[in-house]
Amino acid sequence: MSNSQTKYLQLLASHYPTPAQTITEIINLEAILNLPKGTEHFLSDLHGEYDAFEQVFRNGSGVIKRKLSVLFANELSETELTTLATLIYYPRPKMRIILRTFSATEKNDWYRITLLRLIKLTSFVSSKYTRSKVRKLMSPDFTYIIEELLYQNNDQIEKEAYYHEILTSVIELNSAADLIHALATLIRRLVVDHLHIVGDVFDRGPAPDKIINRLTKHQSLDFQWGNHDMIWMGAASGSAVCIANVLRISARYLNLDTVEDSYGISLRPLAIFADTTYENTSTAFMPKKSQESAKTTSEINQIARMHKAIAIIQFKLEGAIIQRHPEFNMTDRLLLNKINYTNGTITVNNHTYTLTDTDFPTIDPANPYTLTPEENDVIERLLLGFINSAKLQEHVAFLYAKGSMYLRYNGNLIYHGCIPLNEDGSFKALTIANKPYTGRALFDKFDQYARQAFSQPEGSKEKEAALDYVWYLWTGETSPLFGKTAMTTFERYFIAEAETHHEVKNPYYLKRNDEETVATILREFNLSPDDGHIINGHTPVKEGAGESPIKANGKLLVIDGGFSKAYQSVTSIAGYTLIYNAYGLQLVKHQPFTSTEDAIMNETDIISTRRIIETETIRQCVKDTDIGQHLQQQINDLKSLLTAYRQGLIK
Ligand SMILES: O=P(O)(O)OC[C@H]1O[C@](O)(COP(=O)(O)O)[C@@H](O)[C@@H]1O
Ligand SMILES: [Mn+2]
């Protein structure tokens, strides 16, 4: 045995000080390896739609209802099943509604029957996990009672009497409602074991902050950053241009309240500046509102002015970055200098277009990219607001801790946008500091920059350089998060001709239909094309127009079905969840969601349909997963320790 091996085994021996303890742990780990693999749920492009996300999250993408149907097929009617399902999703409010009209005796009967049913379901959904894992997911207040109810092994008659005793005490002690809540929570946690969020929690919808609050409480999750997350990460890291983008989109979708109320960032400086600078409100800057809003016309007009003010600041700041980074190859995005300020026209691609709005009070035609002192002051103040928002900093720190540009997990490759490709299918390069980066190396380089932007000290050269790359990730041609040649934001606001609005997608989006391309990408990330899949978000799947989320013969799955309300007219549905359990891969399609209130009162669940993509011939076990490999390594080490004990090498 080498010196370092002995040292390692001695360290291990401090945790397992006797051969008997070592053997117990080996047996325990080997048992875990043979349990069925936990269920992974993949969700993407939540875009601030907290209520719809909550419903899918609470109903386990339809899995809870399916389990109930299997378990109580002969016992409960469809209506009773739906009520029980709604109770599991929203235990407290649903209980209040159910119990409202009950007498004391009826209440107690209902508690007893409901608890028995919930215990039966808990037992069913926990059977594939170890006791220790189930215990960790329980509310500590009820661990003892739930374990007693779950693991009673006496014969049937004694068991029922024992249950009866426990339940009577629980009801008499007025704890039944709390126990129902604890069991419902446990069931939901058991059903969604591991969660993958494939990016774009932020923008468009009203409550990304609530989604993140919820995610922080989930027991096991990872996150692949989306382009919209990246601008918020950049904004929280202190990038002025990312802040401008974030606020422009928030104004556009009437979500400035989220910034002010949830993150506590004052927008007063921007409001005052906008009011004193922009008189007219061009219709292009009117909020693109899908949600019902209680705002008055004058409030809406003010938001439109703020929208325009921050858009102009954004274009100026972007111009400065483009000019200092010729390697970004974005000079065609320099548009403020192509405006004829006298005629109110712009010339792009040899075409001259009339601008729909010619009011540019802050632009000096000789230096169109220079901020006025007032604009500079506004952005400085906003910057302070973003970097001092404790809640935003906490949320973004969570995205950094759990997130990455891509993830290899159980043989699959997960990322939000694309692998930038050339027309011929080869990997497209971006040159950074004279070195070309492609494929996985490009992702790794961006991952490094993204982290550097947040972690390096304020004002350091490293931070400043990294922040420009964070912005590039949002909008650059060779960004794996964006995947289009250019973002035509300016044109969408100022030019009527739709031809100028078109954004050309990277060839990846055509080539990903082809199995060979997908195999090449999987190999690039050191994954097997035979077993692995690519899980992709970012582009809404236009189900209504006949597009399928299943590409390359089932090797690539696009799961952006459009949780975003603003995009539901395009997708015709309300999102997909991909589920990967011991039996294989299943795609669940969700129909648009009405409201949480409707879901609780009228028990309207998001109707979801399931499509099996691949079925495993043999039920997959923990040993077939990444965690399984890790556990196998631990078993091997423990076996070496046991041998060392037996040979007297360790005492
Ligand atoms: O619908 P809007 O608000 O005009 O947003 C369109 C912009 O959003 C983008 O599609 C990026 O957002 P996604 O990641 O959701 O696609 C840009 O390419 C485009 O310019
Ligand atoms: Mn996206």
Counting ligands in written order, which one lies closest to the CA of residue 47? 1
ipTM of the complex: 0.95
- Tens digit of each residue's pLDDT (9 = 90 or more) over 585-638: 888 888 777 788 888 877 776 666 777 777 767 788 999 999 999 999 999 999
The domain limits of the chain are 3-32+632-646, 56-191, 208-494
Q: What's the pLDDT score for residue 608?
A: 67
Q: Which two tokens stand for residue 475?
A: 């909008």
Q: What is the mean pLDDT of the chain?
A: 92
130 phi/psi in degrees, rounded to 5: -70, 160
Quote the pTM value. 0.92
pLDDT of residue 162: 83
Ligand 1 binding pocket (C-beta < 6 A) is 200, 227-228, 252, 484, 487, 489, 492, 503, 538
How confident is the model over 319-355, as pLDDT tens digits? 999 999 999 999 999 999 999 999 999 999 899 999 9
Query: What pLDDT was estimated at residue 589?
Result: 84
Which residues make up the environment of ion ligand 2, defined by Cβ < 5 Å? 200, 226-227, 538
Q: Summarize the confidence of residues 523-528 as an average pLDDT.
A: 97
Rounded Cα–Cα distance for residues 541 and 370 (Å): 40
Q: Which of 545, 523, 547 is nearest to 534 (CA)?
A: 523
Neighbours of 282 (CB within 10 A): 18
Question: What is the phi/psi pair of residue 430, to 5°?
Answer: -120, 130
Instruction: Give the separation between CA 549 and CA 592, rounded to whole angstroms.
Output: 17
pLDDT digits (tens, 9 = 90+) for 200-216: 999 999 999 999 999 99
Please answer whether residues 520 and 424 qualify as being in contact, where contact means their C-beta atoms are separated by less than 8 angstroms. no
In this prediction, residue 598 carries a pLDDT of 81
pLDDT attached to residue 263: 97
Distance from Cα 474 to the centre of ligand 2, integer Å: 9
Give all strands (DSSP E) within 451-603, no chain letters: 534-536, 550-551, 556-558, 576-581, 584-590
DSSP H helices, 173-207, are 176-191
The rounded Å distance from CA 44 to ligand 2 centre is 9
245-289 pLDDT, tens digit per residue, is 999 999 999 999 999 999 999 999 999 999 999 986 678 999 986
> CA 575, CA 419: separation in Å to the nearest integer?
23
Q: Which residue has the tokens 């506590």?
A: 264
CA 6 to chain centre: 44
N- to C-terminal Cα separation, the chain: 15
Q: Which atom of ligand 1 is nearest to the CA of 567?
A: 1
Taking each helix axis from N to C terminus, what angle separates 19-33 and 626-646, rounded to the nearest 10 degrees? 160
pLDDT at 337 (0 to 100): 96
Tokens standing for residue 398: 């969570």
Nearest CA to ligand 1 atom 20: 487
